[in-house]
């Protein structure tokens, strides 16, 4: 007999599945190549420390290396900056932050929570479909009609940016006593809103149709 278009907007909270910690290591030296060599050694030592708590090499990315000279002569003085991104699970995060905060010359610039929005959208869209069908049945019944099928359906989903700014706390000398986990008595995790929009064209017919 005709179509009945129903649009449902459904919001759910989803939990982070991991985090990426953005860090910067800096060093300066008046001796040729000392700063660069020192920082390369520190990166290797950091990789070893993180591996000990279950963070593999492939979870650590070197995202930038900068070498600057104060006088324009490469062999006189150096300032080196190396930026890294370290991927960790929420369970690993306290130990990872403890290791990072125990190191001199390292600053934690940003904590970026990561989400599996595609997987989270599947049950959320299924819930939206159930909501759409309930609404279609009610609207059709009020009009003396009944839902007989679905002609088409489409969905979209969105979520806010997962990047979360954090104040750099690694420069606090009190946090460099050791590499103990940063145990705050709470699970280190985060959640965000996932918004699903579902549009369904239902086929409807008169209640007495056969």
Domain harbouring 160, CATH code: 3.30.110
CA distance 84 to 57: 12
Give the full edge-to-edge strand order of the sheet including 145-158.
2-15, 191-206, 145-158
Same domain, 106 and 119: no
Residue 174 in domain: no
Answer yes or no: is pLDDT of 141 > 70.
Answer: yes
Flag whether 22 is in a domain.
yes
Residue 40: inside a domain: yes
Residues 13 and 34 in one domain: no
Domain co-membership, 194 together with 143:
yes
Residues 152 and 106 in one domain: no
Q: Which residues are registered as beta bridge partners of 141? A: none
Token output for 90: 């929420």
Clarify whether residues 56 and 133 are in a common domain.
Answer: no
- In this structure, is residue 107 part of a structural domain? yes
Nearest Cα neighbor of 86 from 67, 103, 111 is: 111
Regarding whether 201 and 137 lie in a shared domain, the answer is: yes
- Pairing outcome for strands 18-29 and 163-165: unpaired
For residue 146, pLDDT over 60 is answered with yes
In a domain, 177, yes or no: no
Last residue of a domain, one of 89, 114, 139: 114
**Residue 178 domain-assigned?**
no
Q: Rounded distance, CA 35 to CA 40, Å? A: 9
pLDDT at position 196:
97
Give Cα 41 to chain centroid, integer Å: 29
Count how many residues are written for the chain. 210
My answer on whether 35 and 85 are in the same domain is: yes
Q: Are residues 42 and 77 in the same domain?
A: yes
Whether 200 maps to a domain, the answer reads yes
- Domain interval for residue 79: 18-114
Contact indicator for 193, 139 with CB cutoff of 8 Å: no
73 and 145 share a domain? no
In a domain, 122, yes or no: yes
Residues 40 and 66 in one domain: yes
pTM assigned to the model: 0.71
pLDDT of residue 183: 53
* Domain identity same for 12 and 33: no
Opening angle at CA 90, ends 86 and 93, nearest 5: 50
Beta carbons of 129 and 198 less than 8 angstroms apart: yes
Of 51, 81, 114, the residue at which a domain comes to its end is: 114
**Model pLDDT for residues 67-83, shown as the tens digit of each residue:** 776 655 555 667 788 89
- Beta strands 191-206; 145-158: pairing state: antiparallel
Instruction: In whole angstroms, give the CA distance from residue 142 to residue 112.
Output: 48
29 and 91: one domain?
yes
* Calpha distance 152→148 (Å, rounded): 13
The CATH code of the domain that includes 31 is 3.30.70.2970
The per-residue pLDDT for range 121-139, each reduced to its tens digit, is: 999 999 999 999 999 999 9
The SS3 assignment for 135 reads: helix
DSSP string, 99-150: HHHTSTTEEEEEEEEE--HHHHHHHHHHHHHHHHHHHHHHHHHHTTEEEEEE
Rounded to whole angstroms, how far apart are CA atoms 115 and 105? 30
pLDDT, one tens digit per residue, over 17-74 is 999 999 998 876 655 556 667 777 888 889 999 999 999 999 999 988 887 766 555 5
Number of domains the chain contains: 2
């Amino acid at each position: 007999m005709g179509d009945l278009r129903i649009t449902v907007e459904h919001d759910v909270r989803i939990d982070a599945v991991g985090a990426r910690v953005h860090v910067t290591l800096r060093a300066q030296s008046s001796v040729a190549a000392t700063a660069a060599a020192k920082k390369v050694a520190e990166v290797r030592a950091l990789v070893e420390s993180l591996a000990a708590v279950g963070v593999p090499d492939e979870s650590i990315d070197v995202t930038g290396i900068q070498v600057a000279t104060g006088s324009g002569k490469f062999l006189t003085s150096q300032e080196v900056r190396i930026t890294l991104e370290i991927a960790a699970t929420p369970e690993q995060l306290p130990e990872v932050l403890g290791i990072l905060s125990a190191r001199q010359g390292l600053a934690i610039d940003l904590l970026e929570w990561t989400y599996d929005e595609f997987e989270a959208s599947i049950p959320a869209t299924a819930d939206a479909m159930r909501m759409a069908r309930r609404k279609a049945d009610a609207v059709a019944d009020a009009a003396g009609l009944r839902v007989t099928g679905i002609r088409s359906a489409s969905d979209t989903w969105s979520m806010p940016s997962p990047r979360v700014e954090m104040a750099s706390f690694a420069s606090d000398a009190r946090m460099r006593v050791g590499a103990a986990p940063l145990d705050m008595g709470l699970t280190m995790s985060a959640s965000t809103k996932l918004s699903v929009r579902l549009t369904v064209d239902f086929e409807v017919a008169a209640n007495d149709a056969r």
